[in-house]
Structure 1
Amino acid sequence: MATSQRKLQTLFGFTETDLNANRKGRLSAAQIKELQQQSVYELKTLLGIPVILASGALLMLDLRIALPVLLVMLAIVGGLVALHREHLKTIRDKQVHKLAGPLIKHPLTNGSIQYIISVAGRHLPVERGMYEELSDGYFAVYLLEDSHQILSIEPITKTTVKVPAKTPTKSPTAKVTTKTPAKTTSTNKVVTRTTPVVAKTSVTKTTKTVKATSPKPAAKAPVKAATSKPIKATALQSHVMPAAKPAKPKGVVKPQPPAAIGRSRTT
C-alpha cells in the first residue's frame, strides 16, 4: 500500500507550505528558523569543550601556566562564534536539491544501527518509523546538497522521473555538432598557409634551372660556325664556277660556209 502524503508530512515533519517552497528550490521561513536553531545548539555543544578545559586549567595549574591556556581557549571560542554567524547568513541563501527516482530500502545487517534508504543512487539515513512506513515506489526527495537531512518528500509517477533524465543527454550532442565546423575551418587555414610556401619553392627551383642552363653560349657558337661555313663555300663556288669555263681564243676564226668564203675574197 502506498504511503499517503499526509502520513509523509507527519513522519518527516513538514507542511504543505514547506513542500511548495522546496519545489521552487528554496527553504521556507519555518525551515530556515529550524536550521538556525540547530546551528545554535551545535555551537553551544562546541563551546562547552573549551570552557571545561579552561576551568580545569585555572583550578589545577598555576596562573602563569594557565594564562596562555586561557588565551588559546578564548581564541578558539571567538573563531567558533565568527563561523557560526557566517553560517547563519548562508542558511537563507542555500539551495534545495531534488532527488527523484525509485525508493529502495536497504536491509539491515548484523550490528547496524542506522536505517538506510536510497533515492536516485544517494543513500539517506532515516529513523526506524520512517523506514517501516515508507512503501516501494517513486518518490521526490528534497534536501540540502551538503546535508543528508530530508526536508520534505512526496510520491511521484514514473513518467515524471523520465523527463529530466532525457534532457541532459541531448545537450552534449548539440555542442559537439556545433564545434565540428570550427575544426574544418582551422584545417582550411592551415592548407592555405602552406600552399604559398610550395609555390615559392617551385619558383626558386625553376629559376635555378634557368640560371643553370642560360650560361651555355658555347654550345650554340659551334652551331653558328657550322652553318656559316657552308654559306661561304657556296659563295666561293658561285664565283669560281664561271672562271672554270674555257675562254674563247681571240685569234681563232669560226669556220664559214663556202659561199661566205668567196664573198670575203672578192671583197
Structure 2
Amino acid sequence: MKRLLTLSALSLLAITSIAQQAPRKLVWSDEFNYKGLPDSTKWDYDLGSKNGWGNNELQYYTKDKKNARVEKGHLIIEARKEKIENLNYTSARLVTKGKASWSQGRIEVRAKLPAGRGSWPAIWMLAENMKQWPDDGEIDIMEHVGYDPGWVHGSIHSKRYNHVISTQKTAKTFVADFSKTFHVYSVEWDQKHLTVLIDGRPFFSFTNEQKGYEYWPFDNKMSLILNIAVGGNWGGQKGVDDSIFPLKMEIDYVRVYQ
C-alpha cells in the first residue's frame, strides 16, 4: 500500500528552493499553555464512527476529556478500550475545519507518538471545502501504524494520485525513538512543490507537474487533523493488541507559518 521512495536530485532542488524563501510569519499556533479541553476557538471535533471513516476503523470518536485534553503543556489524544454503541474503542479526532485553514506555508506539529499493534496515529490535512475525496486534496504529514514500529510515512492524495488506484505518492523514513521522544513533523509547500519533513529533515517531496487540478489540488485551503485511529484497512492489518490501551499521542505545539 505504501512504497519507499528516494528523493531525486530534482526533488532536492525543489526543497532547497522552498528553504531559501524569505522568512515566514507565524500566523496561527496553539502552544497548549492551559488546562482542560482543547481551545474551542481553534479546535473542533469529528465525532462518531461514520461507518469506519472509509477505512473500516474500529474506534468511536468523542469530545470527552478522557479522549482529548490539555495537561502539563501538552495536548493529549488518547485511545481507550471501552465500548460505545457497537464499537470497542474510543478516541479523538481534532480538526481546525471551520476555525482555520491555510493555502501554502509551513505547518509544524511537535509530537510524541503512541506505540502498539493496531494503533494508527496521524497528523494530516484535508481541503477545507472537501466535496469529493480525494479529488480536493489530502496531505499526510505523519502516519504511523503500530505493527510496523518506527516507520513514519508522508503522502499526498489527489484524484490522479491515490492508493485506491495504486498511484499514491508517498515515502517513509525510520524514527527509532518515535514513542519516547518528541519530534517535529511538518509540511512546507508553495505553488510548485510540497515537502514533508521530520525535525527539519525532508524525506518526501512532490512537485506540481502543471497538469491541472486532478493532479495538484493543493492550492485549496487545507485544514489540519490530529487523531488516533484503531485498526482499519492499514492500521489493523496485523490485528489489534488490546494490552496497549490506553495509548496517547502527545502534542507539544502546533505552529503555522505563511
Which TM-score band applies after superposition, normalised by the shorter structure? under 0.3
Relative to its length, the structure with more helix (as a share) is: 1
1 or 2 for the larger relative contact order (CA 8 Å, sep ≥6)? 2
TM-score by length of 1: 0.17
